[in-house]
C-alpha cells in the first residue's frame, strides 16, 4: 500500500488530534499543524511513540506566508502532501447586536480563509500526484444557531467551498467532502458551557437528551468519518456533506 502524506490543521487537541492519530493508524504519515506549536509536537510525539510517523508544525492557517512555509516543510520532511483535513477552528459567539467586526473577521479568517489558503497550497501537490483527498470540517451550526452568526456563516461557507473543490479538482483524482459534527465533547464545547454559565457535565447531559442516540459525540466519532473520506475506497464520493450528529440533520 502506498503511504500517503496527510496534513491535519488545528490538530494540537480535540477533534484534530484524534483525526491525526487515526490517519496515522490508517498508515499515513501525518503533519500535525496548529497555532500551538508545542502542543502540535506533543501530539506528533505520541503518534511516533505508538508506531506512526508524524511531525508537529506551528502555523496560523489564516496567514498566507505561514501556510506556504508549513506546506513546504511537510513536502520536504514527509513528502508530497495529498490528504488535507481543514479542521482548525475558533468560536467567537455573540448575538448579532453584540457581535464585533473583530469577532466576525476572526472566525471567517480561520475557517474560510484558512481552508482556502491550505487547500490552494496542498492542491499543487495533489494535482501533480493525480490523487488527493480534502476533508473540511463544517458543523450542524451551518443550519443556523443562535449566537453564532459568524460561525454558522463560516460553516455553511465550508460546504459551498467543499462542493466547488469537488467540481474543480475531480479531474485530477482529488475528492473533497465535508464532515459536519453535532455536539462533540472538546475544549470548544467546554468553552461554550463556560460562556453560558453552566458546568460542562450539565451542558453535555442536557445536550445528550436532545440527541436521538442519547449521547454527545466524542472526537473518535468524527475521526471515523474523516478516515473514510480520506481513504483509498472513497474515490467515487465527492462534494458530500456528512452530518455526524447522532441523528438526522438537513
Ligand atoms: P478545539 O478548540 O478543541 O481545537 C481547535 C484547534 O484549532 C486548537 O488546537 C487551536 O489551537 C487550533 N487553531 C485555532 N485557530 C487556528 C489557526 N488560525 N491556525 C491553526 N490552528 C488553529 O476545537 P474542536 O472542538 O476540536 O473543533 C475542531 C473543528 O471541528 C473546528 O473546525 C470546529 O469548528 C469543528 N466543530 C466542532 C464541534 C464540537 O462540538 N466540538 C462541532 C462542529 C464542528
151 is catalytic: yes
Provide the pLDDT for residue 250: 84
Query: Tens place of pLDDT for every residue, the chain, 250 residues?
Result: 689 999 999 999 999 999 999 999 999 999 999 999 999 999 999 999 999 999 999 999 999 999 999 999 999 999 999 999 999 999 999 999 999 999 999 999 999 999 999 999 999 999 999 999 999 999 999 999 999 999 999 999 999 999 999 999 999 999 999 999 999 999 999 999 999 999 999 999 999 999 999 999 999 999 999 999 999 999 999 999 999 999 999 8
Q: Are the beta carbons of 209 and 245 closer than 8 angstroms?
A: no
pLDDT of residue 112: 98
Q: How far is the CA of 12 from the centre of ligand 1 (A)?
A: 9
In short, whether 37's Cβ falls inside 6 Å of ligand 1 is no
- Alpha-carbon distance of 39 to 180, in angstroms, equals 25
Look at the alpha carbons of 60, 66, 223, 107 in this order and tell me if their dihedral is positive or negative. positive
**Ligand 1 neighbour 132 (Cβ under 6 A):** no
Rounded alpha-carbon distances, angstroms, from residue 128 to 4, 7, 39, 172, 221: 14, 17, 32, 8, 32
Any atom of ligand 1 within 6 Å of the Cβ of 14: yes
Does 136 contact ligand 1 (Cβ within 6 A)?
no
Cα–Cα distance, 1 to 12 (Å, whole number): 28
Kindly list the structural domains of the chain, giving each domain's residue range(s) and its CATH number in brackets, ordered by start. 5-182+218-243 (3.40.50.720), 184-216 (no CATH)
| Cell matching residue 43 | 501530539
- From the CA of 62, give the closest atom in ligand 1: 18
- Measured in whole angstroms, the distance separating CA 241 from the mean position of its chain's CA atoms is 13
**Residues 6+ positions from 121 with CB-CB distance below 8 Å:** 67, 68, 71
Residue 59 Ramachandran class (φ > 0 left, ψ -120 to 50 alpha, else beta): beta
Please pick, among 125, 131, 151, 203, the residue that the annotation labels catalytic. 151
Pocket test for ligand 1, best of 22, 33, 89, 106 (most atoms within 8 A of CB): 89
State the angle between helix axes of 200-209 and 187-196 in degrees (0 to 180), rounded to the nearest 10. Answer: 100
Please report the pLDDT score of residue 1 as a whole number. 66
Nearest to 190 by CA among 181, 178, 173, 202: 202
What are residue 56's DSSP bridge partners?
32
Amino acid at each position: 500500500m502506498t503511504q500517503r502524506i496527510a496534513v491535519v490543521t488545528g490538530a494540537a487537541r480535540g477533534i484534530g488530534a484524534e483525526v491525526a492519530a487515526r490517519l496515522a493508524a490508517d498508515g499515513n504519515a501525518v503533519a500535525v499543524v496548529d497555532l500551538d506549536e508545542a502542543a502540535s509536537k506533543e501530539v506528533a510525539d505520541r503518534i511516533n511513540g505508538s508506531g506512526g510517523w508524524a511531525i508537529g508544525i506551528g502555523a496560523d492557517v489564516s496567514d498566507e506566508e505561514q501556510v506556504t512555509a508549513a506546506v513546504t516543510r511537510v513536502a520536504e520532511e514527509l513528502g508530497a502532501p495529498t490528504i488535507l483535513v481543514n479542521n482548525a477552528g475558533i468560536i467567537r459567539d455573540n448575538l448579532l447586536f453584540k457581535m464585533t467586526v473583530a469577532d466576525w473577521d476572526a472566525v471567517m479568517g480561520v475557517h474560510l480563509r484558512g481552508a482556502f489558503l491550505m487547500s490552494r497550497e496542498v492542491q499543487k501537490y495533489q494535482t501533480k500526484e493525480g490523487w488527493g483527498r480534502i476533508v473540511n470540517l463544517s458543523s450542524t451550526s451551518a443550519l443556523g444557531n443562535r449566537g453564532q452568526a459568524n460561525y454558522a456563516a463560516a460553516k455553511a461557507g465550508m460546504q459551498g467551498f467543499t462542493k466547488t473543490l469537488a467540481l474543480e479538482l475531480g479531474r485530477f483524482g482529488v475528492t473533497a467532502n465535508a464532515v459536519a459534527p453535532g455536539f462533540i465533547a472538546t475544549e470548544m464545547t467546554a468553552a461554550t458551557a463556560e460562556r453560558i454559565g453552566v458546568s460542562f457535565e450539565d451542558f453535555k447531559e442536557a445536550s445528550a437528551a436532545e440527541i436521538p442516540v442519547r449521547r454527545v459525540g466524542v472526537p473518535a466519532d468524527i475521526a471515523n468519518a474523516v478516515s473514510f473520506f480520506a481513504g483509498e475506497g472513497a474515490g467515487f464520493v465527492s462534494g458530500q456533506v456528512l452530518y455526524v450528529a447522532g441523528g438526522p440533520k438537513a
